[in-house]
Structures are given as C-alpha cells and as structure tokens.
Amino acid sequence: MPKNVIVLGTQWGDEGKGKVADLLTSEANIVVRSQGGNNAGHTLVVGDRKVVVRLVPSGIMHPKCRCLIGSGVVVNPVALFEEIEELKAAGVADAEERITVNGSCSLLLPVHPAIDKASEKARGKGAIGTTGRGIGPCYEDKVARRGVRVGDLMHMDFFVEKLKRLLDYRNFMLKNYFHAEEVSFQSVMEQVEGYRDRLLRMVGDVSDILAKARADGRKILFEGAQGTFLDIDFGTYPYVTSSNTTAGGCVTGSGAGPLSIDYVLGIAKVYTTRVGGGPYPTELKDELGEHIRQRGKEFGAVTGRPRRTGWFDAVAMHRSAVLNSLSGLALMKLDVLDDLDEVKICTGYRYPDGQVRDLPPFSAYDYEGVEPVYETMPGWKQSTFGITSWDKLPENARKYVKRLEELSGVKVAILSTGPERNQTITLEDPFA
C-alpha cells in the first residue's frame, strides 16, 4: 500500500511547508488541506516563478494533482477566487477544475474580518497579532453552531435565514461592544450571489474522494497550515490560531480515518521564527536577529510583517515530535546560517524556580521568567546554498544537523538549502 503522508509545521508557522509539499507532490496524486484558511501563506518556487498559495493546496503547480479543501478549512470564497485568478495568470489554466471544496466547510464572510480587527483593537497591548483575515471569529461561529457552510448555498431560503440570524448576533456585537461599523445583510448577499454558482460547481465530498483514492492505491499528501505552537490546544495560548495545527487536525479536518496516515513529516527551520505576539523563549532581539531576518527574507507571506527570529528550540521540537507522532523531519533554510561564527541550540527551559525542564509551560502567561539554556556549536562559514548531497556539506554543518536530529529524537529525511525544489538533500523519501 503506498504511503499517505502528512506535511506539517513543527514551530510557529512559515517553516517551509509549501516548498516541501510542492516537492513531494511530484509523487502524490492528491494534496488536501484540512484546517486554517487564508491566514496561511505557502511559498512555491518553480524555476523563475514564485507563487504564494493561501487556501489552495500546494500541489496545484503539478498538472495532474487533484487539490482538496477539507471540512476543517474556513473558506473565504472571495479570497479563493482571487487566488485562482492569480494562479491562472501564473499559467495554471485549469486550477479551478482541479480543486474540490467540501460542502461542510465553514463560509468565511465579511463580518469575520470585521470582528477580527475590532477585537484585536479592543485587546490593545495584549493583541494576538492575527492576520486580520477573520479566521478566529469564523471558527467561533462554527463551534457555536451558528455558522454558515458552503453546502448551505444549495438551499437559499435556509441560507438566508441562517445568515440573518448570524448577522443579527455579530452586528449587535460590532455596534454595542466594539463600537465598530456593522456589516449589512445586502452587502453580504451581493457578494454571495456573485460567487454562489461558481463555488457550488467546485463542491464535492472530500472524505469520499480520499477513501476511494486510497482504495485505488493513490498517494495522498495532507498539507498542514500554521505550526504546532499555534495549535489551539497545545500552542502558546491565547497567542495561537483557532484550529488544531497538529497531526490530528489533518485527520479530523479532511475526513480521512486516523489509520490512513502512514508517515508524518515535520517541517522545521534550522532556527526559528514567529510572526505576531506571544512567548518566544529563543527570540533574538539584537543585530543577529536582524541579520537572520534579512538573510532568511523573514517577512510574512500573507501580511508582509517582519517575522521575529531566534535560535532553534529543541525543547519545543521534542514536544512537537510527541504531539505529532513525527516519522521524519525536514530541516529548512540551512543556508541562512552559513556565515555565522557560532550557532546555538536551546536544550532546556530554566523556570523561575531555578529548575531546568525539557517541557514547555501550559499557556503564554506561564512563560513569564522562563529562560532558554543554550548549547553552542561552531559555525561552518561556507556557502551551503543549493547543495544537493549530504557529503558536500561542510563538516560543521553536518554536525549541527546531526545534533538537531539527536535532540529532536526524529531522523532527518529532508534538508533544504534554498527555496527551489531542486535545492534539497533527500535522505529518506516519505512516500517510499
């Protein structure tokens, strides 16, 4: 039986999931997204073409790949069609025909970004630093069982009734709690009428497609969005996103059974980044942090915000290995550290009571006073950019990678030395 592989972020997002998903899609027939929405920004570099996908699965650049959007994804159809138009302009003429959206996906409506922005403003200094795309409020409505779903558009009487109730509730909040502008029923209906038929043509049963594809022996890639420490349950709450970004989310959000997963590939940078607020023990707030940001081009793919940068955190990584049942690691952006004299790895957290532990705290507030304990290794001071074989790497770079592997407790399957598909060292093929 061929392998079904999950590709997911093990840190705070932007690890390079897009590159790896695109790379592995040469072997996969199907790529499925299971959670998140257009808060994600996954960069695909194919020759001189660079494409950033947000809702569309990263398999789209491969002509034969079918791309599925599972039930756990919150879908903003306006954003989806914008993205499809961008893909068409980039030469992917049949993008729309190759995408299927599950009928039970939650619909993200203009009221959601409105609430997101108003609620961030109200939080003031304690703002989460969301992408402002309305992801949290859309999941709130889903869980509160007042949300509208893609499939509701097949029954317009029912849809209109649900939408009215939803807007009544949300506008009450916008007006009376946030003192912000309301979103009119007419404006939402106009937008919905504009995309309804086009969206309904893309609707299908993702769970059924996955089950049949598996029975036919086809290879499926499950593409995670965000990263493990942005997980609603296991991340640095409340500075998290509103979905399960860990491996379980790929199963519940796609409708594939848990036993259909054969391999979980965790993506990690050889350092760390985080965009938005929240705890970040290994953050470098100095010139070195700025240097890594510039060399790594660490600016958000969705919002353009500068990403915070820091050393590799092996405490977080080890935790991530447990939370996700990682089978293998893809270590990314080795080239970014090429010119450093030395590199550091966080091997423990020193808590305010003086104890050093290898477990992260339960929530953001408990990170107060937690200090990273570092191990230092010599740098390699040589270019690794574009290297495609392990043996050609400088010795100190190999030692660094081996140490990351040892501390994580997960073998390195892929090592990335540049943004392009071929700038990669493959040590183990997850689909083999």
Residue of 6, 11, 19, 207 interacting with ligand GDP (CB under 6 A): 19
Could you give the string, one character per residue 33-72, with x where binding to ligand IMO holds by CB under 6 A and - elsewhere?
Answer: ------xxxx------------------------------
336 forms part of the interface with ligand GDP (CB under 6 A): yes
**276 part of the interface to ligand IMO, by CB under 6 A:** yes
For residue 99 the two structure tokens come to 């995408």
User: What's the closest the beta carbon of residue 114 comes to ligand GDP, in angstroms?
Assistant: 25
Distance in angstroms (rounded) separating the CA atoms of residues 386 and 418: 5
- Residue 126, exposed/middle/buried by CB under 10 A (0-12, 13-18, 19+)? exposed
Q: How far apart are CA 84 and CA 426, in angstroms?
A: 31
User: Which residue stretch of 125-133, 252-260, 327-335, 388-396 sits at the interface with ligand GDP (rule: CB under 6 A)?
Assistant: 327-335
Number of alpha carbons in the 13 Å side-chain half-sphere of residue 427: 18
* C-beta neighbour count of 127 within 10 angstroms: 14
Determine which residue in the list 51, 101, 166, 275 makes contact with ligand IMO, applying CB under 6 A.
275
The reply to whether 76 sits near ligand GDP by the rule CB under 6 A is no
Q: Which is nearer to ligand IMO, 13 or 266 (CB)?
A: 13
Active-site option among 14, 22, 141, 313: 14
14 binds Mg ion (CB under 5 A): yes
Contact 21, 237 (CB under 8 A): no
Partner whose binding site includes residue 335, from Mg ion, ligand GDP, ligand IMO, none (CB under 5 to 8 Å by kind): ligand GDP
Q: Which region among 237-245, 310-318, 321-329, 332-340 touches ligand GDP (by CB under 6 A)?
A: 332-340
Per CB under 5 A, the list member of 301, 321, 404, 413 interacting with Mg ion is 301
275 binds, among Mg ion, ligand IMO, ligand GDP, none (CB under 5 to 8 A by kind): ligand IMO
Residue 421 binding result from Mg ion, ligand IMO, ligand GDP, none, given CB thresholds of 5 to 8 Å by partner type: none
- Cα distance between residue 270 and residue 258, in whole Å: 29
Closest CA to 136 of 149, 122, 117, 163: 117
Which of 128, 256, 292, 332 binds ligand GDP (CB under 6 A)? It is 332
Based on the shown chain and the rule CB under 6 A, indicate whether residue 131 belongs to the binding site for ligand IMO.
yes
Looking at the Cβ atoms of 131 and 347, the one nearer to ligand GDP is: 131
One residue of 419, 421, 425, 430 binding ligand GDP per CB under 6 A:
419
Distance CA 211, CA 221 (A): 13
Give Cβ neighbours of residue 342 (< 8 Å, ≥ 6 apart).
376, 377, 378, 379
CA distances from 61 to 64, 81, 88, 112, 186 (A): 9, 16, 11, 30, 37
- What the block records as the tokens of 33 is 């997204």
CB nearer ligand GDP, residue 202 or residue 301: 301
Q: What is the dihedral of CA 14, 213, 139, 87, to 10 degrees?
A: 50
Number of H helices, E strands in the chain: 11, 20
Stretch that binds ligand IMO, among 77-85, 224-232, 284-292, 420-428 (CB under 6 A): 224-232
Any idea what DSSP says for residue 280?
-
Q: Which is nearer to ligand GDP, 8 or 92 (CB)?
A: 8
Whether 179 sits among the annotated catalytic residues: the reply is no
Query: Shortest Cβ distance from residue 33 to ligand GDP (Å)?
Result: 12
- Nearer Cβ to ligand IMO (129/379): 129
Instruction: Please measure the distance between the N-terminal and C-terminal CA atoms of the chain and give it in whole angstroms.
Output: 10
Binding mask 24-53 for Mg ion (x = CB under 5 A): -----------------x------------
Q: Which of 22, 42, 116, 141 is catalytic?
A: 42
Exposure class string for 211-246: b at 16+ Cβ within 10 A, else e? eebbeeebbbbbbbbbbbbbbbebbbbebbbbbbbb
Residues 98, 319, 333, 421: which binds ligand GDP (CB under 6 A)? 333
Residue 123 CB contacts under 8 Å (≥ 6 apart), including other chains: none
- In the complex with ligand IMO, which residue's Cβ is closer, 273 or 384? 273
What would you report as the CA-atom Rg of the chain, rounded to the nearest whole angstrom? 21
Tell me which residues in 22-41 interact with ligand GDP (CB under 6 A). Answer: 41
Q: Is 155 a catalytic residue?
A: no
**Per CB under 6 A, 244 contacts ligand IMO:** no
CA dist 46 and 61 (Å) reads 8
Q: Which residues bind ligand GDP (CB under 6 A)?
A: 9, 13-19, 41-43, 45, 297, 301, 332-333, 335-336, 416-419
Query: Catalytic residues, which ones?
Result: 14, 42
